[in-house]
Amino acid sequence: MATAVDPLTEGIAARVKVELKVSEETQGLDIQVVPDRNGVVVLRGSVPSEAAKKAAVRAAWRVQAVGGVRDELKVGGQR
């Protein structure tokens, strides 16, 4: 039986998605934000460069109440 994600973390993940869409450095990137537990979000997908990867992680940390960011982003278009 899978462990349910708490509503607080789901809300945090939703705010991270918005931050990624409005940040100039991450607009248009195909990044999935998956809620984990205890305020931790997982970033998945592919980005064109190491700089874009770092920008996505920074954007996620800007969201209030983020308890952690697990970076599973791939550089160079590989998923």
Could you state, in order of their start, the residue ranges of all structural domains in the chain? 7-75
Distance CA 53, CA 35 (A): 18
Average pLDDT on 52-65 reads 97
Query: Is residue 41 within 8 Å of residue 72, measured between CB atoms?
Result: no
pTM, to two decimals = 0.89
Condensed to tens digits (0 to 9), the pLDDT of residues 2-15 reads 567 788 999 999 99
Helices (H), the chain: 7-22, 50-61
Q: Does domain 7-75 have CATH number 3.30.1340?
A: yes
The β-bridge partners of 40 are 68
In this structure, the chain runs to a length of 79
Distance CA 39, CA 2 (A): 18
